[in-house]
């Protein structure tokens, strides 16, 4: 199974400041079709997960442009350029290259 490792596990950010989350996979997530099957989700308190980023760097429909994803191979990063109060929750990276699908442990973001 592909192991997904996120750091840090928690973040406390002042509104308007940036935030960055790292995700490392135990093997490359690049498929032979040229796509990278790395996703980022946000689970707000009491809600179901919502998709933020697909293919490592493509912003999903309706996601604010302060969210960006980058990376390749086994190293990926989610950045929030200016954190807002509504961004609180737990962020997960997920690989969809091979079954079983696996998630990172989650990174809890709170507002200072």
Per the DSSP assignment, residues forming a β-bridge with 70 are 77
Stretch that binds other proteins, among 10-18, 20-28, 47-55, 77-85 (CB under 8 A): 47-55
99 binds other proteins (CB under 8 A): yes
What does the DSSP assignment read for 58-105?
A: EEPTT--TTEEEEEETTEEEEEESS--GGG-EEEEEEE-SSSSPEE--
Token pair for 98 = 């091979």
35 binds other proteins (CB under 8 A): yes
30 binds other proteins (CB under 8 A): no
48 binds other proteins (CB under 8 A): yes
Which of 13, 23, 41, 78 is close enough to bind other proteins by CB under 8 A?
Answer: 41
């Amino acid at each position: 199974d592909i192991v997904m490792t996120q750091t840090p596990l928690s973040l406390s950010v002042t509104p308007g400041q940036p935030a960055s989350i790292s995700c490392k996979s135990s093997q490359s997530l690049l498929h032979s079709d040229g796509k990278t099957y790395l996703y980022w989700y946000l689970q707000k308190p009491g809600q179901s997960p919502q998709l933020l980023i697909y293919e490592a760097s493509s912003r999903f429909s309706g996601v604010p442009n302060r969210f960006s994803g980058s990376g390749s191979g086994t190293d990926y990063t989610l950045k929030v350029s200016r954190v807002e109060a509504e961004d609180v929750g737990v962020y997960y990276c997920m690989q969809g290259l091979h079954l079983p699908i696996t998630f990172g442990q989650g990174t809890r973001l709170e507002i200072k």
